[in-house]
Amino acid sequence: MVTAITIWGDRISPVFDSASAILIVEIIENRIVNRSTEMFSPGFLNVLTKRLNELNVSTIICGAISEAPAHTIENKGFHLIPFITGSVTEVLLNYEKGESITPKFLMPGCKCQKRKRGRCCKNR
C-alpha cells in the first residue's frame, strides 16, 4: 500500500490548499519499507494526482482541505483521509500498524458528523 501525506516540517500540513510537500510512504505487512518526499503545487491538482497515480498512491492523508480539491481527489479514485493533525512520525506509527488515526489525530473542533457525507471520519 502506498500512501501520501501532506507535510510541513515534521508535522501534517495544517491546510492542503497551501501545502507544498508530500511524503510518499510504502507500507508492506504493517511496516514502512520506502519513503520519499515530493514537492508540489496544490494549484496544479491534476499534475499532483497524475504523479501520485504514477507512484501507485491509493490514500492521501492531509489536514484541512477545501471542498473542490477534496472532490477532485476523491473523483480521481484516491481514498482521502482529511482533517488529520499532529506529528508525521506519530501518525505513521499508528497508520502503518493498521490502527485508526481518527479520532486520535483528528483536528480540534472538527465537526465531521455534520459535514456533507461525513467525509472526515467516514471509513477511517
The per-residue pLDDT for range 14-55, each reduced to its tens digit, is 999 999 999 999 999 999 999 999 999 988 999 999 999 999
Please tell me whether the overall predicted TM-score, pTM, comes out greater than 0.85 for this model: yes
Residues in CB range of 83: below 8 A, 6 or more apart: 63, 64, 65, 106, 107, 110, 112, 120
Task: Domains for the chain: give ranges and CATH numbers.
Answer: 2-118 (3.30.420.130)
